[in-house]
Amino acid sequence: MDSPFLSGASQAWAALGADSSLLERVSCGGASGGLPARLPVMELARATVAVCSLAAAELASLRTRRPVPRVRVDDEAVATAFLSDRLVRVDGRAWSTFSPLSRFWRTTDGWVRTHANYPHHRARLLAALGVPERAEEEAEDAVARAIAGLTALEVQESVYAAGGLAVAARGPRDWADSQQGAMVAGQPLLTTARIGDAPDRRLGDAAQPCAGLRVLDLTRVLAGPVATRTLALLGADVLRIDAPQLPESQEAHNDTGMGKRSTTLDLGENTDRRRFGELLDAADVVVTGYRPGALEQFGLTPEALAERRPGLVIAQLSAWGHYGPWRERRGFDSLVQVATGIAELEGSPDSPGTLPAQALDHGTGYLLAAGVLRALTEQHRTGGTRLIRLALAQTAHWLVHGLAPAPGKDEGFDAEHRMAETDSPMGRLRHALPPVSYDGGPVNWARPPGLWGTDAPVWSDS
């Protein structure tokens, strides 16, 4: 690997427990000016895509019985992919990734950020602040007035108590001094573990690393769907399952639903619960992105999954980690940026700032996919049921404290070079091409996304 780019990828590859000598098969290049920031965002993006690509190449080597292919990470492709949710178009139409009530607000002692993209989160925010449902512009004014009379922590705690999302803006030192921040700092970038015995997974010959593998996708915007979108690129049969009572954005699915199918099942209803059990009994990988505790009521703990389906790969993603006082709190990339001090570091004396992309989501998504790919490789060698865990807060800690900017100057960046168009059920879809690649690997998804929640709850070859 080119020496300026070795550090970040080496750290991530080591966290995955992989053979360091394979890093020699990776090189980087291309225009690198697509993600300008004070923090080393481009280094995070490049490193996460590099290790995901290398993990795919490593598994491809097992499936093809050939040497591990070389990986070339193109910075322009990486930056475009990290902006994919903002670049996606249907018949030329863009969509707004954030609602008017998802933003920073001034409080009596600083700033707070709210997240209200989903209707139920919006309703809970308004209820917590005592604001009646009303038109968007009027709601904004009323929310601003309500928050202006409260401290940031008062807003945070009252909104969370109502089931909504709000986080007080902190500096890096304040976060480090908090109980949750201290616990995050004590964690590795990600964890991998063998949690049960199972025979070696003998994958047959195949052109793609994930060919023939079935992935249950229990994730929502954005990191989890990025991971499963990547597994679909590499040949997996990915079936996303959502609860019918939880609304999802078709516009978001237009970006992250590439290569997948999507259905809805109500796990609280007996018939759907049985159908889900049948899908689970034939799955190879389960990826979850709900907050810790949300799926346990349905018996979906790692221990229960390992007992029911020995040899499963279980990948779990959360915002704040599976530990500490915030373990069961909801969270999104934008809120993790605010809590961990990133917003302060990227801001000005007058207001907090943001990263140039939802880089915590995208970066964690590629790390999650890499973890699954490496688990499949290790299962081929030594079997076992495998558990991978990541958290947006751990990726944030890595960005702030573990990565350093690579030397060199930014070059011109043109996302148009890394976009493609295809027909879809929604119309003419324009989307970013995948950044994960290796010699001989796929260059685009086999199918576009469909209408969210409309596929049958069956595996493709059933």
288-327, pLDDT tens digit by residue? 999 888 888 888 999 999 999 999 999 999 999 999 999 9
Supply 46's token pair. Answer: 């490049």
Question: Catalytic annotation on 361?
Answer: yes
Cis peptide bond prior to 222, omega within 30° of 0:
yes
User: In this predicted structure, what is the pLDDT of residue 439?
Assistant: 97
Whether the CB-CB separation of 194 and 386 falls below 8 Å is answered with yes
Q: Which residues of 230-249 are buried (b: 16+ CB within 10 A; e: fewer)?
A: bbbbbbbbbbbbbbeeeebb
Rounded Cα distance between 333 and 55, Å, is: 25
Whether the CB-CB separation of 68 and 24 falls below 8 Å is answered with no
Give the predicted TM-score (pTM) of the model: 0.97
Q: Which residues of 286-312 are buried (b: 16+ CB within 10 A; e: fewer)?
A: bbbbbbbeebeeeebebeebbeebebb
- 403, pLDDT greater than 90: yes
Give the pLDDT band of residue 41 (cuts 50, 70, 90): very high
* CA 433 and chain centroid, separation: 17
What is the helix (H) or strand (E) element at residue 237, kind and residue range? strand 237-242
Give the pLDDT band of residue 185 (cuts 50, 70, 90): very high
- 424, pLDDT greater than 90: yes
Q: Which of 361, 410, 414, 461 is catalytic?
A: 361
Q: Map residue 130 onto helix, strand or coil.
A: coil
What is the helix (H) or strand (E) element at residue 61, kind and residue range? helix 41-64
Whether the CB-CB separation of 354 and 86 falls below 8 Å is answered with no
